[in-house]
Structure 1
Amino acid sequence: CTFLQGDAMALHRLLPEPVDYSLMANTFHGVPEQTALVREIAGVLKPGGLFAVVNWHARPRVETPVLGQARGPRTELRMTPEQVRAVVEAAGLRLDRVVELPPYHYGALFRLPG
């Protein structure tokens, strides 16, 4: 596993070779150009590579407390698995599966065809 710091919209410049797996946790909802970012990720994945998105469920923020405090992104930013699927599949990846990550999250796993 290698960690890099840089602009995610320029992954092709940061990575010397294609990767097997890309993970995005608790931030996809805030990406201004989601489909463009997914296209960039797809461009650096090996054929059959995986892209995972971990997100807060699309519930009101007040319903996702941690240690008695409302946590997570604003309610209006939260995305359902179906909304994430629409964005990611528009960039050419295909949904592999959605898994529950209790108590407030889900993971959506996408595969690059090939």
Structure 2
Amino acid sequence: MSDMFIATSMPDRDWWAALWPDPEGVLRALGVQPEMTVVDLCCGDGYFTAPLARIVGGRVYALDIDPAMINQARGETARQGVSVSNWIVADAREVAALTPEEVDYVFIANTFHGVSDQTALARAVADILKQSGLFTIVNWHDFPRERTAVMGQPRGPKTEMRMTPDSVRAAVEPAGFHLARVVDLQPYHYGTIFERTL
């Protein structure tokens, strides 16, 4: 595990499905559109990778530091009958060096709260986005952890690690972005959608 990510781990798939029974609908609500080229940053086990690929026709760079997660994500996309154009095992900070083209959209879910230098990661993302490209960060609302129960158990990061949309904005905008909108993702999440400005 990189020292960039603090106290992050991949949860059980069953409770992701309990939270988000329609991941493709979540992605569409967050502005993912057909024919975009997308980076699924810290893709984990592929819960969002397969629906991303379905929407954009496979034009996805799926990156994770853990080869076991990449293998799970590959298996999940195969199970769902979709293809992903590029699989990358690497630290998220290396995304600019490993993505050979500018992309339309970068997506990261449930990981940003554990990034030790969030502005540096946002700068790496800015380096691969087209002008006016979008960087979407999905986070848990800053509710106390005991209030975010899934399948009968408190879930998500520790209360003190949770971020408000304003704290995400403060970390990302200095990297050359402006906050375009915040999307509430019931019951416990939100997405901040940033547009590249520099």
2:122 paired residue among 32, 38, 50: 38
Q: Which structure's relative contact order is higher, taking Cα pairs within 8 Å and 6+ residues apart?
A: 1
* Structure 2: stretches of 5+ with no match in the other structure: 1-58, 63-87
Residue of structure 2 equivalent to 1:66? 150
Residue of structure 1 equivalent to 2:110? 26
Instruction: Name the TM-score, length of structure 1 as normaliser.
Output: 0.96
Q: 1:12 deviation in Å?
A: 1.7
* Structure 1: stretches of 5+ with no match in the other structure: none
What is the CA–CA distance in structure 2 between the aligned matches of 1:92 and 1:32, rounded to whole Å?
19
| SS of equivalent residue, structure 1 residue 32 | coil
State the superposition RMSD in angstroms.
1.0
Instruction: Name the TM-score, length of structure 2 as normaliser.
Output: 0.56
**Residue 99 in structure 1 maps to residue 189 in structure 2:** no
Count of paired positions: 114
Greater share of residues in strand: 1
User: Which is further off, 69-78 or 3-12?
Assistant: 3-12
Residue of structure 2 equivalent to 1:55? 139
Letter in 2 for 1:7: D
Instruction: Give CA deviations for 1:37-74 in whole Å, capped at 9, x if unaligned.
Output: 00000111011100000000001000000011000000
Residue of structure 1 equivalent to 2:93? 9
Q: 1:11 deviation in Å?
A: 1.3
Q: 1:7 deviation in Å?
A: 1.5
Bigger Rg over Cα: 2
Q: 1:5 deviation in Å?
A: 2.7
**Residue 89 in structure 1 maps to residue 156 in structure 2:** no
Letter in 2 for 1:64: T
| SS of equivalent residue, structure 1 residue 88 | helix
In the TM superposition, structure 1's runs of 4+ consecutive aligned residues that sit over 4 Å from their partners are none
Instruction: Give CA deviations for 1:64-114 in whole Å, capped at 9, x if unaligned.
Output: 000110000000000000100111111110001001000000000000026
The alignment-based identity, stated in percent, is 55
Letter in 1 for 2:145: R
| SS of equivalent residue, structure 1 residue 23 | strand
What is the CA–CA distance in structure 1 between the aligned matches of 2:178 and 2:192, rounded to whole Å?
10
